[in-house]
């Protein structure tokens, strides 16, 4: 393999008519890395992942996956990647094992190892004892686990997970993260995933924050949090508008209402709270101070929280649907 990276992306872009879903992004993913693509719905995550998986042709730029060009060496890319989509792509009328056998044949997994490999991946996601059950009887979480097993069946060099935990209950979500961590230890694999759960992005080695089709920043979760440097303070008051004005007048702070509370960032938040109570000049009903989270990172780079960003982006959500077809 001539390429030393698992994924290399250069000025990659995709337009649907006049709408630019991805606007010339650049990044690299090293072999063995867990790389997270973080952004609100409609930011261009799925479009980017679809281009890397050869499902959508880019309108500009280039990308290689496992050393192969995603446009010119499509089959080579496909042999070397595993895919887990947001929406299930299993045949509910077949048993779990039959679904995997189908996949093994389609990918040309050598006959001598098919049986053992199927057993191995199914044991990894704890579904071996359900191998003969029809997939339509599975819960959403079981289906997702089976899809992860299937995505791994042909030993891909890069596993793409598009929102692997969306719509799952917390217990299943943590189980899926358990598998992903186990995977990193067992297999020589690079994981490329998208998520819009901030908590989950922390599991990644590096994160790219994407917003409106552009990469805002790429770094490790720790470095990103350190770069924010400020604590996040949220207060509840009787009159939010007045509170925001008071914060600006008296402390020179930029505050805004996020998640129903007046929110602002300030260095050493705990020490600031006593001053706040003394000098704001209006009653505060509650206060919370938190260390910077990835949510704050997101906010400091994009100017909105991920939930706020999702609320107003119908056009982009529509484009995402287009991209997924």
Partner 1 sequence: MATETIAVRTPARGAGHDLRAIKVVLHREMLRFVNDRTRMLSMLLQPVLWLFVMGTGLGSLVQGSIPGVDFRTFMYPGMISMTVIMTGMFSAGSIVWDREFGFLREMLVAPVSRGAIVVGKCLGGALVATGQGVIILAMAGLVGIPYSPALMLTLLAEMFLAAFTITAFGVLLAARMKNMQTFFGLMQMAIMPMVFLSGAMFPLANLPSWLHFLTVINPMTYAVDPMRQAVFSHLDVPAQVNAVLNPGVQWFGYQVPVPLELGLVAVLGGVLLMFAVAQFRRAE
261 binds partner 1 (CB under 8 A): no
14 binds partner 1 (CB under 8 A): no
Nearer to partner 1 among residue 155 and residue 293 (C-beta): 155
94 binds partner 1 (CB under 8 A): yes
What 3-state DSSP class applies to 115? helix
Nearer to partner 1 among residue 132 and residue 270 (C-beta): 132
User: Judged by CB under 8 A, which of 24, 32, 60, 88 binds partner 1?
Assistant: 88
Tell me the closest approach of the beta carbon of residue 83 to partner 1, in angstroms: 6
In order, the DSSP letters of 51-103 are: HHTTSS--SEEEEEETTEETTTTHHHHHHTEEEE-SS----TTSBHHHHHHHH
User: Judged by CB under 8 A, which of 26, 123, 245, 249 binds partner 1?
Assistant: 123
146 binds partner 1 (CB under 8 A): no
CA–CA distance, 140 with 150 (Å, rounded to integer): 15
129, 157 contact by CB (below 8 A): no
Nearer to partner 1 among residue 130 and residue 232 (C-beta): 130
* CA separation, residue 224 to residues 201, 228, 293, 297 (Å): 11, 7, 9, 6
CA–CA distance, 83 with 152 (Å, rounded to integer): 8
The alpha carbon of residue 46 and the mean position of all alpha carbons in its chain are separated, in whole angstroms, by 9
The C-alpha torsion from 116 through 121 and 123 to 128, rounded to 10°, is: -80
Number of residues near partner 1 (by CB under 8 A): 39
Tell me the closest approach of the beta carbon of residue 65 to partner 1, in angstroms: 13
154 binds partner 1 (CB under 8 A): yes
Q: For the stretch 124-160, what's the b/e string if a residue is b when 16 or more beta carbons lie within 10 angstroms of its beta carbon? A: bbebbebbeeebeebeebbbbbbbbbbbbbbbbbbbb
25 binds partner 1 (CB under 8 A): no
Tell me the closest approach of the beta carbon of residue 150 to partner 1, in angstroms: 8
In order, the DSSP letters of 155-175 are: --SEEEEESTTTT--HHHHHH
Q: Which helix (H) or strand (E) holds 110?
A: none
155 binds partner 1 (CB under 8 A): yes
116 binds partner 1 (CB under 8 A): yes
Tell me the closest approach of the beta carbon of residue 245 to partner 1, in angstroms: 51
What 3-state DSSP class applies to 273? helix
CA 313, 26, 30, 297 torsion-angle sign:
negative
277 binds partner 1 (CB under 8 A): no
DSSP 8-class letter at 144? H
Tell me the closest approach of the beta carbon of residue 78 to partner 1, in angstroms: 4
Nearer to partner 1 among residue 96 and residue 109 (C-beta): 109
279 binds partner 1 (CB under 8 A): no
109 binds partner 1 (CB under 8 A): yes
The C-alpha torsion from 89 through 94 and 100 to 106, rounded to 10°, is: -80
**Mask 41-80, x = binds partner 1 (CB under 8 A)?**
------------xxx-------------------xx-xx-
Nearer to partner 1 among residue 53 and residue 180 (C-beta): 53
User: Judged by CB under 8 A, which of 2, 108, 252, 274 binds partner 1?
Assistant: 108
Chain residues binding partner 1 by CB under 8 A are: 53-55, 75-76, 78-79, 83, 85, 87-94, 98, 101-103, 105-110, 113, 116-117, 120, 123-124, 153-155, 186-188
């Amino acid at each position: 393999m001539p390429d030393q990276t698992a994924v290399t992306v250069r000025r990659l872009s995709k337009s649907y008519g006049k709408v630019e879903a991805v606007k010339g992004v650049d990044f690299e993913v090293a072999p063995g890395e867990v790389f997270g693509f973080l952004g609100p719905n409609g930011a261009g995550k799925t479009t980017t992942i679809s281009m890397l998986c050869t499902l959508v042709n880019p309108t500009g730029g280039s990308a290689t996956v496992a050393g192969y060009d995603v446009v010119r060496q499509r089959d080579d890319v496909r042999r070397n990647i595993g895919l887990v989509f947001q929406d299930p792509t299993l045949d509910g009328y077949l048993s779990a094992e039959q679904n995997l056998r189908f996949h093994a044949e389609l990918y040309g997994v050598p006959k001598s190892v098919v049986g053992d490999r199927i057993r191995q991946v199914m044991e990894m996601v704890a579904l071996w004892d359900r191998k003969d059950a029809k997939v339509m009887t599975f819960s959403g979480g079981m289906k997702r686990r089976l899809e992860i097993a299937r995505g791994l069946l042909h030993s891909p060099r890069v596993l793409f997970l598009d929102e692997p935990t969306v719509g799952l209950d917390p217990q299943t979500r943590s189980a899926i993260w358990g598998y992903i961590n186990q995977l990193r230890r067992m297999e020589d694999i690079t994981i490329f995933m998208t998520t819009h759960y901030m908590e989950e992005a922390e599991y990644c080695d590096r994160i790219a924050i994407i917003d409106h089709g552009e990469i805002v920043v790429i770094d490790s979760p720790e470095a990103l949090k350190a770069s924010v440097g400020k604590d996040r303070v949220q207060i509840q008051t009787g009159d939010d508008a007045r509170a925001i004005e008071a914060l600006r007048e008296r402390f020179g702070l930029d505050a805004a209402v996020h998640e129903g509370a007046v929110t602002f960032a300030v260095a050493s938040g705990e020490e600031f709270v006593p001053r706040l109570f003394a000098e704001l000049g209006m009653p505060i009903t509650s206060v919370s101070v938190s260390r910077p989270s990835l949510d704050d990172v997101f906010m400091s780079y994009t100017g909105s929280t991920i939930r706020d960003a999702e609320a107003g982006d119908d056009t982009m959500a529509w484009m995402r649907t287009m991209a997924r077809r």
